[in-house]
Chain A
């Protein structure tokens, strides 16, 4: 039996999953440390605007305003009673110590248990011209509006797939921006067949249908079953060229594009924590292996929310609470079993909904097989599809880490967040082997760039006692 008061729990991420995990722990007498890179809590979906902005929650979060407000209030009421560190990045993990970098420099946070609630980012499929100014990630387009009160351009196209496409287009149009079109690669033709699963999500699917209908009513073109071909322009985007669902080619003039294919988890810290990953055939991604409570394969390391697998904000709140309860139970504390059962039941319903959504909006991950050799795949290092294929073929690299070593693809500052899955697709296709056979790029520290100036702001510079090396260097 562990004393609740002495158990050191670190939660990374103050989004829906992290907030509910913190709240649950505190309720059971455990004061967690919560670290988040953002200046304010709320995570991505319930991201709070900067001080001095005045839009009400209803404008920012629409139908979800009450959920956002509840989550913000929950954390506001507990943040004085825990160790909360905003503006702080966990850049590395070493055994049971998290290494962080914040406004005051670098620091260490020792822990007995770790909850990773690190959220998600856009999944991207590269196209010719996708590095042009004016082309932004889809979720990023939403951030511009929600967090900055800005539209990414004056004539905006949204392109990709997933429910977010319609929501962001709606929010843009509603805010007075000109939305040229919504271009969805999904055909949505089997919506009726998926209805039982979709209804498991409660009112969510109707909101989605409502957005699509509203957009059409307000003169926004909604195209389904499209194949985007390229972003055109020289020093900025001026059009999207695509093949419509009916098969004709079309050019949509615009000065900005929000581009994204649903979300993918931020799993870099899970990698550094040493948890096992498994290949997920539905999303064609490697995901951290967890049990139904959020326990990873490493003792004391738990995952919750979209950082484990994409299930949405409602599920993230439930999974945060559930992981915290599992953690408490694993450390010998009494937890309400009935609550755990109830959480599992709700999550089961949401996962049926998620599965139906995944089928309704399939990620055209294999589209990348067809891109031209000239297209940049790794935008950090400017490595093209042709260079990756050359490594896979002529240089006989059958594994993604080998391709990375030979080409620098995936070696840049974003740590392969944008290109990792696409490199794997290209290598597997070039060698005609299953995707899971080419391995995966492992996360390496620092999970985001670490300014050297920051490392030198630490209170105590490390006393180094390095062995004398007569012949090295």
Chain B
């Protein structure tokens, strides 16, 4: 049995948690982070790797802008660029209705200070001559990019540690509670591995598992744990620079300079209780088909690995980010619904700002857990 005291306790060692830890240390705040497995190995380490603002919900754009600053500073901040590259991003249309939706969204994004250009099929093919007949046009955002997810969480964790954060891996938080003015967080079920941590502030960055923490304080998001499926091929001569998405989101595809195509879409049927996010072979084959429909040359590649991992998907596909409504000192940052990789580095910076100054100029109101108050009373999350 071990007792620890700190200022801020972070539950969850994904990119959100690890970035929060680093940014808090930069502000001189004592912090302890608890992670049930290895840092950056859950959704943070297995995702698609897109870093984009194109096609993103307006409610997330201010966070994305903050995050972009962090992405750009990574070589200096982390000692590694985590293979972040500005390659551009194309959100593709496969029907006239898709084109209308893209144009409407591009217009709505216009005030946010980055350029999105609508490309007709001809304009698209003039620049990117490799799309199949199903692709009718695209929204093009040159400032978007991609990075290697496997590197980011561990790099933040190392930097946070070096800056003085205490990061405990293989430490599953079993209970969280208020203990007077402080939070009491308990890890480990048996006596020998029992750790009690007390701190003034608690950050809930527990990803797909975060509702369990929120529920301990009488609030919940309407959220389910899903397991998105990914595919990677053998290296193929490099030609596809931008990352690709589609209206409807059933497939996304990129190629890295080493040559591998990485694509995903669809979900396995794993539940958190099973502990293992396994891959449904049918969905893999479906993703292959959808990818080839975008770029016929992908049919010449060969799949070498498929994987999956847990992600919390909320009812409205927006994250839960901001102060608790029941418990002072508790901040939620979870439920990024399949598009949090790009945001997470910035989320950490915003949480650190909130935790130390009590305020941030990033508007978080629409992301508050309070938006589920009515529904969650009726439909508890899985």
Contacts and interface: CB of A to CB of B under 8 A. Distances in A.
The answer to whether any beta carbons of A and B sit under 8 Å apart in the complex is: yes
A256 to B, nearest CB: 27
B55 A452 contact: no
Given A406-B150, A452-B298, A453-B300, A470 B317 contact: yes
Given A446-B304, A455-B289, A472 B279 contact: no
A466 B266 contact: yes
Nearest to B226: A467
Contact of B288 (A396, A456, A472, A473): A456
Contact of B282 (A449, A453, A462): A462
Interface stretch (B15-23, B195-203, B245-253): B245-253
Interface in A75-93: 91-92
A452 B249 contact: no
A405 B318 CA distance: 28
Chain A at the B interface: SS class: loop
B154 A453 contact: no
A287 to B, nearest CB: 21
A471 B57 contact: yes
Nearest to A449: B302
Contact of B41 (A91, A402, A446): A402
Given A92-B279, A462-B286, A471-B56, A450 B338 contact: no
A445 B279 CA distance: 9
A469 B302 contact: no
Contacts of A402: 38, 41, 154
A106 B300 contact: no
B45 A405 contact: yes
A451 interface: yes
Interface in A308-335: none
A413 B57 contact: no
A86 to B, nearest CB: 21
B299 A453 contact: yes
A452 B304 contact: no
A461 B284 CA distance: 12
B305 A411 contact: yes
B158 A473 contact: no
Given A92-B281, A399-B38, A472-B245, A449 B234 contact: yes
B299 A466 contact: no
Interface in A403-448: 405-406, 411-413, 415, 444-446
Interface string B219-253: 00000000000000110000000001110111110
A471 B248 contact: no
A290 B317 CA distance: 45
B300 A456 contact: no
Interface in B143-193: 150-151, 154, 158
B58 to A, nearest CB: 10
B91 interface: yes
B77 interface: no
A92 B308 CA distance: 14
B56 A94 contact: no
A405 B266 contact: no
A92 B301 CA distance: 18
Interface residues of A, number: 40
Nearest to B279: A445
Given A99-B281, A456-B292, A472 B338 contact: yes
Nearest to A397: B154
Given A399-B38, A445-B281, A466-B266, A473 B292 contact: no
Contacts, number: 139
Contacts of A395: 154, 158
Interface string B18-37: 00000000000000000000
Contacts of A91: 281
Contact of B252 (A397, A412, A455, A472): A472
A106 B305 CA distance: 16
Nearest to B158: A396
A445 to B, nearest CB: 5
Given A92-B279, A395-B158, A473-B50, A446 B265 contact: no
Contact of A452 (B151, B154, B299, B339): B299
Contact of B249 (A92, A106, A399, A471): A471
Contacts of B38: 399, 402
Nearest to A91: B281
A51 interface: no
A413 B234 CA distance: 7
Contacts of A473: 48, 50, 55, 91, 244-246, 249, 251-252, 265
B337 interface: yes
A468 interface: yes
A464 interface: yes
A472 B267 CA distance: 13
A324 B310 CA distance: 38
B135 interface: no
Contact of A468 (B91, B248, B280): B248
A94 to B, nearest CB: 5
A106 B288 CA distance: 12
B167 to A, nearest CB: 10
Contacts of B50: 473
A473 B158 CA distance: 29
Contacts of B151: 405-406
Contacts of B288: 452, 455-456
- Most central of A91, A92, A396 by chain B CB within 10 Å: A92
Given A469-B250, A472-B252, A458 B285 contact: yes
A62 to B, nearest CB: 37
A7 B50 CA distance: 47
B255 interface: no
A444 B48 CA distance: 17
Q: Which of A97, A452, A468: most chain B CB closer than 10 A?
A: A452
A402 B265 CA distance: 25
A336 to B, nearest CB: 38
B233 A469 contact: no
Contact of B303 (A396, A450, A466, A467): A450
B306 interface: yes
Contacts of B233: 452
Given A405-B154, A469-B250, A446 B303 contact: yes
Interface in A172-215: none
Interface string A27-59: 000000000000000000000000000000000
A47 B233 CA distance: 30
A180 B210 CA distance: 65
B307 A444 contact: yes
Given A92-B279, A406-B154, A472 B339 contact: yes
B169 to A, nearest CB: 9
Given A472-B337, A473-B50, 10 more contacts: A94-B278, A406-B151, A413-B302, A413-B304, A449-B302, A452-B300, A455-B284, A466-B267, A472-B245, A473-B245
24 contacts: A92-B306, A94-B280, A97-B281, A99-B281, A413-B302, A446-B305, A446-B306, A449-B304, A451-B303, A452-B298, A456-B289, A456-B299, A462-B289, A464-B266, A466-B265, A469-B338, A471-B56, A471-B57, A471-B249, A472-B339, A473-B50, A473-B244, A473-B246, A473-B251
Rank and list the top 4 A-B pairs by shortest CB-CB distance, nearest first: A469-B249, A473-B245, A473-B252, A472-B249
